Each structure stands twice: as structure tokens, then as C-alpha cells.
Structure 1
Amino acid sequence: MQKQYDYIVIGAGSAGCAVANRLSQDGRHTVALLEAGSRDLNPWIHVPVGYFKTMGNPSTDWCYKSKPCSGLNGRSIPWPRGKVLGGSSSINGLLYVRGQAQDFDDWANLGNDGWQWDQVLPYFMRSEDWQGAASGMRGQGGPLTVSETRLSRPVVDAWLEAAQNFGYPANKDYNGKDQEGVSLFQLTAKKGRRCSAAVAYLNPARSRANLTILTGSCVEKLLFEGSRATGVQLASGQLKATKEVILSAGAIGSPQLLMVSGIGPEEQLTPHNINMVKELPGVGQNLQDHLQARPVFKCAASTINTEISSWFKQGLIGLEYLLKRTGPMTMAASLGTGFVKTHLSPGRPDIQFHIQPFSADSPAEGPHKFDAFTASVLQMRPESTGHLSLVSDRFSDHPDIHPNYLATELDQKTIVEGIKIARLIAQHAPLKSLVTQEHSPGINIGEQADAEILNWARETATTIYHPTGTCKMGNDDMAVVDAQLKVHGIEGLRVADASIMPIITSGNTNAPAIMIGEKAAAMILQEMVNV
């Protein structure tokens, strides 16, 4: 290990892997990529269904937990985030969603020039090796394999057909020109195995002499000379960066590291006797996430619940995967999806469905003993925002997470409408003939008032693992980074991960995080050319 590098990248997650690969690609710059977790050697990381084994596992997951949330009737819920090479892309559900073109145009309209849709599309395409039909909007030959779902289940096919009979269009490529419609999910998978950011970006780059990948290297704080970032403090010593430090530790890690290093709101730093380097009141604020409600319907069709109900059945499934790389072990977190409009957002889709041919009260308890499917639904652009708060001046102490779900009337109405739509789709052919009973919330919930449905959501809804926004990009008083992702008032320091999103994207956030890494690296390299 050297003591000095041109660039230090903190966090080998979705964005950090992309940044490290691109900065080291031409061999001109020395790059150190620091990951607090271990190498991605756990075999469950690479099996698509392995997220059941890696989420909640402290060897691969930071195992964060939210504070009690009034919007969830005082409940505290787990917030998994990846602690391993690949970050959350190594433990997520493999679902690949770019978002809506309007999402990025909205970012640009907030003063973030260069982030409009036509400016970010090339970076999505650059990252992709799309295995589906060729399209002028899809990339091929990139490091990240994106494939169509290889698995099918009758109940999911019936849901997609029923949704179309209810009036929603089919969409062969929701990552193409228009997101709206229903379809099977696209996955970050290749030949039955997960294609994480580490697999895509680090495996091809490991042999580069100018790239150093350090696992088990948790950064304790950033180092500064005046207002310039100069390196990082590890338990084992200091590393210096001659050009830049790029912070890619995620929507929880990045703002926490900024704050314990002296960049953030005064009211967060002063109680912990942290010396102020730069007061930025927006650090740790603007926390956004997607909250999922999970209606479950019993059905007269085979689902994963009963397909894995014995050791013998599980053995056959495992054997199929070992021999063919096919079968239920190749399944992502969901099979079907829908991006649809409620009457609350007539202009563009505002809810997303995740259709799963299984059901459970909680992952720890395992699937139900009966056949059922889950029609998980979330609001894609919630108004409610939360925040993080420090508990000490040590990065090793998890910050308090205050998600503030369902704090606005629009968010409350939207989640209720999404649940109602899930029920209505279940009443349309051909799904209707397969549904035997609404298991939850149950047909009695909502008979008298929508407040009953909302209360059920408060009692049962949970994160779908998309925290964003805590180091938001912009030029207002609460912005943390500018459009070049440079931390306001600090030289030599950028943030490149999902925390920079001023507004959460419409759908799963892994693809946009990788795009952010691609664009960040391109901006850094372009500046070097212009110097």
C-alpha cells in the first residue's frame, strides 16, 4: 500500500466502482479505492436469490435501523445497505430502472446544468451491456450486463395481463423512450449470476498497476489543509490524495463522514465537539426513500411459497441452478413491474408495482405456507423528506436515521390509491380466476374509510431500500455539492453517489447511482484535460 495517490475513492459501491474503474482506465492516474467491507467472496452474493442471505448479515450489510417514525405509527424498521465490494449492488434485488426522463430534467431545472435527460443518457448507455433488442437508447458493450427476466410464473403473467385489461399499457422497455406501462423486470444479471458493480467494474480492472483496492478499510475522517481535502484517516494511518478525494459511501455513509470530518450543520457538529471546517446546513438533510406497501393475495397457482416447502424441493431447485443456471434461484426480488398513474398525477406515472410470486410477513419468518403473490406498491416521488443526525464524532457509531415517511397529505393519498389499484387489478381477468382471497390488508380494511387503508400501510409498510438525497446537488442554501459534484466551499472533494440526488428518481435507484459514478469520472477527467 502506498501512502499517496492521485485520487482516493471512498466506498466501493455502485457509484464508487464506476468512478475507480474510469479514473484508472488509461493508466495515467493512481487511484485508491477504499471499502470498509470485505471482498465479495460470499457465494450468496453472486446467486440472484442470495439477497435473502446477505441482507441482515453483518458481514455484508451495515445493518442500519431507522428511528421510530410517526408516519409508521412509531415503528422502527431495518435499513439494509451493502458493506462489501459492490456495496448495495451486491445485496440488492438486481432490478434495473433508470427512472423517467423528467426526473433528470427536473434536476437541471433546479440549476444543475448538465444533468438533463439528454446529458445523462450517454452515461446510462456507456455503463450498459444490454442483452435485449437493440435500440438507439440502450447501450451495448458496457461493463454492466443488463438482461431480461429469464424466469416466469403463471400468476405474474396473469397480473400483467389483468393490468392491461384494467387499462394500463404493456411496455417492452420501460428504460427506453417512455417508462409508463407494465412488463417484466430487467435485471443486472448475466447467465444466471448477479452482475454487481464490483463484477462489472472492478473484476476487469484488478490487474491495473495504478489501481489499488483496499478492503476492510473504514475511513474515520477526511483530512484537510485549510479548505482543501488532502486525504483520509484510517485506523492504520493516513493516505494522501494529490488531486481529489471522491466520497462514494452512499446516502448514509457520505453525509455522516462529512459531518464527523467537520462539514455540515453547526447544530450537528457542536454537540460532539467536532471542529468546523465548513458549515453546510444541508448535509444529512433532504433524506428521501421509497416506502412500499405490500398487499398479498392467496391464489390457486403455483408460487415460490410452496415450491420450496420441503428440503427435497429445495434440493431439486439447487441442483437445477448448479447444472443449468436456471430456475427459481435466478429470480430477482420481483418478476413483474408496473409504472402507472394515479388520478393524483395525471401527467406522469407516480406509483410503481413490484410483483413477486411469493409472500411473507417478514423475510426472517420465511414464506407463507400457502400459495400467494405480493403486489408491492410504492410512491415514486414522495414529498416527505427526513434527515440524519450524529450520535457521536465517530464514524463507527451509526447515525440516527429519521425517514419521516408519509408526512404529507399527498404521500398519504398516493399510497392509499396504490393499494386500491392493486385490489382493482386483482379483480380483472385472467388474474381474478386465480385469486382465492385477499390475505392482506384483507377485504374488511377500507370498507368504511380510506383512513383504514392508510393505517394498515402505517402498520406494515417498509423501505424498498432506496435512500437518497442527503448531500443534494444544487446552488441553494441547503445544497451540499454543485453540478460538478464538488462540495461547496471545499477544494479537492466531491461526492458521487445517490446522496447527490436533489429529488429521488422514479423507480429503483441502483442504475442512476451507477450513472452518477460514470458521469462523475467523466467530469473529473475532462477537468484534467482542460487544466
Structure 2
Amino acid sequence: MRPRGEFDFIVVGAGPAGCACATRLAQARPEASVLLLETGPAKSGIRSDVPLGIATLVPFRNARNYGYRTVPQAGLGGRRGVQPRGRGLGGSSLINAMIYIRGQREDYDDWARLGAAGWAWRDVLPYFLRGEDNARGADAWHATGGPLAVSDLASPSDCARAFVDAAVQCGHPLNTDFNGASQEGVGLYQVFQRRGRRWNAARAYLATLAPKNLTVLADAPVARVLLEDGRARGIACVDGSTYAARAEVVLSAGAFGTPQLLMLSGIGPAGHLRELGIPVLRDSPELGANLQDHVDFVISRRVNDRGLFGTVPSIVPQVLRAIAPFRRGTGLLTSNVAEAGGFLRTRPGLDRPDVQMHLCIGIVDNHSRRLHATRGMSLHTCVLRPHSRGSVRLAGTDAGRAPQIDPAFLTDERDMETLLAGTALARRILAAPAFARYAGPALYDAETDDEARLREIVRAHADTIYHPVGTCRMGSDAAAVVDPELRVRGVAGLRVADASVMPTLVSGNTQAACAMIGERAAEFIARG
């Protein structure tokens, strides 16, 4: 152990929640010292800054993507799924599709009903507004002046517009603001961008708001929390260095990283820890359980249209032609790929949408890990509130070793039924007259009319759309990992602030909700 310093507060993980928590806490407590530690690099890199670069960052492990894999999934025919997670200052906001979605107000009311007191919609909305700087201006649902730049897509494609028109032809309502009075309907997504460039969480909070009492260390992987007499006293890094915390340690390492760090520190399911020879300092049976993620199925079509792009070889000249417009903040390179979508109900009687769609202006086959020498488009459909529950467990005692990730996709048959119903809605939209220009052969016979065959295809190709949550569930009951003020039960001076605390998955993309959690965590900590 090599002591390197002492701070009042230490935040581990610089994703959207960690960046928000550390910055707002340092602002609220100017007399206190705050340390933010991040495993990955400090610089985002050009492939992240250019929105279209997502196509090169998501498929495989790289400097800004942990590139995790799941354990074999029974619900996916025994396949191992892909779990991209961001690495570096900004976390997953470095590699995601930048889509600005809060979720449905009922999501947060459900949290409160399940025991997360103080997390109902009326409680969280002010923190969404506090973080927002919407290019459309302020109104009852939106705000300006916050650190998170939100804008309309600079150059939405004809294909995205055609999808919206086709969905309206099918009877779905047009929705120009998924974060307004109602989420239901179809439209173009707003994105975390400014002047056509990705506006990641580090740029939003650290580069623009961070006060002098905040110290940020990148390339500093943490091995465990240092515990003494039932209290968090600091952290130990992989390189043997340690940092002491006079007041609190906050873990913001995400739905996989946070439970991994807690278990390596001796907090978690006692039986699992003993199997690995880790001394049990706090038995927390639910830690690492309750993993939820949006299971997703993609219909991809080969379509020879110049407005779409392919992986090889057509993308190269398209990108070269797009450089000049990008310098002006427009053009193909400003695309987040998933430009349009919607929130729809799969059957009568539902009180709110249960599936989400993402229209992508290229072929997305196996997370773009499988390449095609043709242009095309893809339409994703995911289950918004899955019933399947998975887990995260340690694969060993080495902090650098990936955890065992088991989303348990499609193990609850209700998720399969919803996914099939959502796929049927997607097919009707693709068959509408407004989308006729984009007709073409579907990969893997994904538009078959044989339901038994379609079930096989879904199990062979469905996977995540990158929204894991829930592994450190927040609640008022004794079994909850953290209480409603995000304090780890049974351990003083230790909190969690990231997607892992969500009792249930929000209905949509998770970046905005994670930043909101970080904003709230800072306030809880600052007031003591």
C-alpha cells in the first residue's frame, strides 16, 4: 500500500452519474476536497467526438469500451451476448447513441411505490431540468443553462423521416418531444450534442463546471474500498496506491463495476464471497442481483440507397465527402446512427408504451461486429420493462478481470411475447407506403410469417441495447442494497450513485436518468 493523499470525498467512476455527483458536490461544498477517479483515459478521442464514430467504438473492446461478454444465455439459444460499456472520463456517454430520454413518469412513481421514497416523478423532474440545456429553449418540460447540451439532429436522414411518416400512416401519433407531456408516439430523437459534436458527460460537467476543489485522476483503476470498523475509509487502486476519505466514498462505476467493487471489498452475498476466499465484511444477499436490461431484436434490410451507409466499402467515400460539412456542424458525421424511433403499445388495454424502436441508417448486424459490403438500414425493437432478472458475480478476485454478467434475457416468457408483438408493429411500419423506397431483403429471414421460425430467429439474434441497471437496488426494505439516500446498508460513509441503484429499468435510454441520479446524490451528500 502506498498512501497518495487524503480527501474529504472520493467518487469512483466518471460516467454521467459520477461526473454529475463529483462536480455538484464540489460546488456545494467549496470548503471540502473531492477526488474523482476513473479507470480509463482522460481524452475522449476523435472517434468519440464525431457522433458517427459510434459505429467503430461499440462493436469491440478498445481503449474506451470494456467490451464485456455475458455468460451463455439460455434464452438466446446458449449464445454469449455483447455488453459494451464506456471507459474513460465520460463513461458510457463516450460510446452511446447520445439519445436524450428521461423515461416515463410512471417509472419513477413505481420506484417510490416500491420503497424508494423521494424518487417519484415530481421529485426527480427538477433535477432533470437542472442538468438540461435544450437548444429548443425552456418551457414547462425543459430548461436551458444546465451542463448537458441537448439538441435536435443537425442533418436527419431521409430514411429517418420516412420511418416517422410510415409509422404515422400506421396510426401511431407523431411526437416531436419524447420528454414532454407524453412519451408515446414516433419522431426524431433529440441528442446530447452541441454544434453537431458529441457532448459527453465529462465535457458537460468536468470541463465546464468543475471547481478548484475537485481533483480528477484518469487511468486510475480502483481495486476495492478500504473498510475499517464498519466504515469506508478510502480506496485502494490496482497499482497499490491508496487514497483516504475523511467523510465518504461514492461508487459510480456502473451496473457491472459497482457491484464488482463492493464484492471485492467484502460486501455482497456471503456464500459467493466465501467461495472466492474473500472475507465477508457485510452480507448483502441482493447485491449483484436484480440485473435488468432492454432485450432488443433488429430487422436489418439490404437497401442500395445513397442516403444510407454500409460498413464496407461504401462508407469510406461517404465519410470523406462528409468531412467538410462536419466542420460546419452538419452532415453525415453528425448522425448518431439511431436517428428516429418511437414508444408504442403492443396491445389494447395497456396504459403506456411497452416497446421502444430505434431506426438506424445502416446495417447493424451483431452490434456491427459482422460486416456487409452493402448499404442498408436497421430497425431495433426493445422491451421497455422486462420481467427477466439476471445477476452480476465475480469471476475471480482480480479487479482487472471482467465480472460474470448474466442478464437472463428472455427467461421470462412475457418478454418474448412482448418482443414478438413489438416486432410485428415494426414490420407493419416497414411495410407502409411511406417506407417503400427502403424495401429490400431482410437479413436472416427476420420478416418471415412463420411464427415458430421467427421465435428461433429472435433467440438466435436478440441481445442488449445497452441499458443495464439494478444490481445495487435502492429501497426502504432491509434487503435493499442502498437506502433512498443511496447509502450502502450496514456500512457507514459509503454510497452508490449510478444505474445500479435503479429498482426497475426506466422506459428508454439511460444516460439522462444516470446524470439525474448523480445530481441528487451530490445533494444528499452535501447536506450530510
Structure 2 distance, partners of 1:426, 1:101, is 29
Q: Deviations over 1:408-448 (max 9, x none)?
A: 121010111111111111222211x324334135377332x
Residue 220 of structure 2 aligns to a residue whose secondary structure is coil
Task: Determine if contact 1:9/1:31 at 8 Å carries over to the other structure.
Answer: yes
Task: Determine if contact 2:235/2:242 at 8 Å carries over to the other structure.
Answer: yes
Higher deviation after alignment, 234-243 or 160-169: 234-243
Structure 2 distance, partners of 1:114, 1:444, is 45
Higher deviation after alignment, 292-301 or 115-124: 292-301
Residue 395 of structure 2 aligns to a residue whose secondary structure is coil
Letter in 1 for 2:306: S
Alignment partner, residue 97 of structure 2: 93
User: Are 2:318 and 1:313 equivalent residues in the alignment?
Assistant: yes
Alignment partner, residue 81 of structure 2: 77
Give matches, 1:62-141, under 5 Å: 62-141=66-145
Alignment partner, residue 230 of structure 2: 227
Task: Determine if contact 2:117/2:476 at 8 Å carries over to the other structure.
Answer: no
Letter in 2 for 1:292: D
Structure 2 distance, partners of 1:523, 1:444, is 50
Alignment partner, residue 22 of structure 1: 24
Higher deviation after alignment, 457-466 or 342-351: 342-351
User: Are 2:37 and 1:34 equivalent residues in the alignment?
Assistant: yes
Alignment partner, residue 297 of structure 1: 301
Kindly state the Cα deviation for residue 339 of structure 1 after the two structures are TM-superposed: 0.3
Structure 2 distance, partners of 1:444, 1:338, is 20
Higher deviation after alignment, 400-409 or 357-366: 357-366
Task: Determine if contact 2:67/2:85 at 8 Å carries over to the other structure.
Answer: yes
Kindly state the Cα deviation for residue 358 of structure 1 after the two structures are TM-superposed: 1.2
Kindly state the Cα deviation for residue 250 of structure 1 after the two structures are TM-superposed: 0.3
Letter in 1 for 2:147: P
Alignment partner, residue 472 of structure 1: 473
Given the superposition, is the C-alpha separation of residues 525 and 326 from structure 1 closer, same or farther in structure 2, using an over 3 Å criterion? same
Q: Deviations over 1:274-327 (max 9, x none)?
A: 111110001110001111100123446433226971643331112322x31211
Task: Determine if contact 1:300/1:436 at 8 Å carries over to the other structure.
Answer: no
State, as a whole percentage, how many aligned pairs show the same letter: 39
User: Are 2:198 and 1:197 equivalent residues in the alignment?
Assistant: no
User: Are 2:47 and 1:44 equivalent residues in the alignment?
Assistant: yes
Please, what TM-score do these two structures have when normalized by structure 2? 0.95
Residue 35 of structure 2 aligns to a residue whose secondary structure is strand
Task: Determine if contact 1:254/1:499 at 8 Å carries over to the other structure.
Answer: yes
Alignment partner, residue 14 of structure 2: 12
Residue among 46, 54, 66 paired with 2:57: 54
Give matches, 1:106-255, under 5 Å: 106-206=110-210, 208-234=211-237, 235-255=239-259
Question: How many residues end up aligned between the 2 structures?
Answer: 522
Higher deviation after alignment, 501-510 or 49-58: 49-58
Residue among 324, 329, 332 paired with 1:328: 332
Task: Determine if contact 1:293/1:462 at 8 Å carries over to the other structure.
Answer: yes
Structure 2 distance, partners of 1:361, 1:237, is 42
Structure 2 distance, partners of 1:76, 1:306, is 25
Task: Determine if contact 2:310/2:376 at 8 Å carries over to the other structure.
Answer: no
User: Are 2:516 and 1:512 equivalent residues in the alignment?
Assistant: no
Structure 2 distance, partners of 1:348, 1:444, is 26
Letter in 1 for 2:7: Y
Letter in 2 for 1:191: R
Letter in 2 for 1:4: E
Structure 1 distance, partners of 2:298, 2:248, is 43
Alignment partner, residue 500 of structure 1: 501
Q: Deviations over 1:122-177 (max 9, x none)?
A: 00000100111432111210001011112222222111111111111111111112
Alignment partner, residue 283 of structure 1: 287
Structure 2 distance, partners of 1:209, 1:177, is 39
Residue 244 of structure 2 aligns to a residue whose secondary structure is strand
Letter in 2 for 1:222: V
Alignment partner, residue 440 of structure 1: 443
Q: Deviations over 1:498-530 (max 9, x none)?
A: 000000000111110010000111111123xxx
Task: Determine if contact 1:303/1:358 at 8 Å carries over to the other structure.
Answer: no
Structure 2 distance, partners of 1:289, 1:306, is 28
Residue 260 of structure 2 aligns to a residue whose secondary structure is helix
Give matches, 1:385-396, under 5 Å: 385-396=389-400
Task: Determine if contact 1:170/1:181 at 8 Å carries over to the other structure.
Answer: yes
Given the superposition, is the C-alpha separation of residues 508 and 370 from structure 1 closer, same or farther in structure 2, using an over 3 Å criterion? same
Structure 2, unpaired ranges of 5+: none
Letter in 1 for 2:193: A
Alignment partner, residue 426 of structure 2: 422
Please, what TM-score do these two structures have when normalized by structure 1? 0.94
Alignment partner, residue 278 of structure 2: 274
Task: Determine if contact 2:137/2:143 at 8 Å carries over to the other structure.
Answer: no
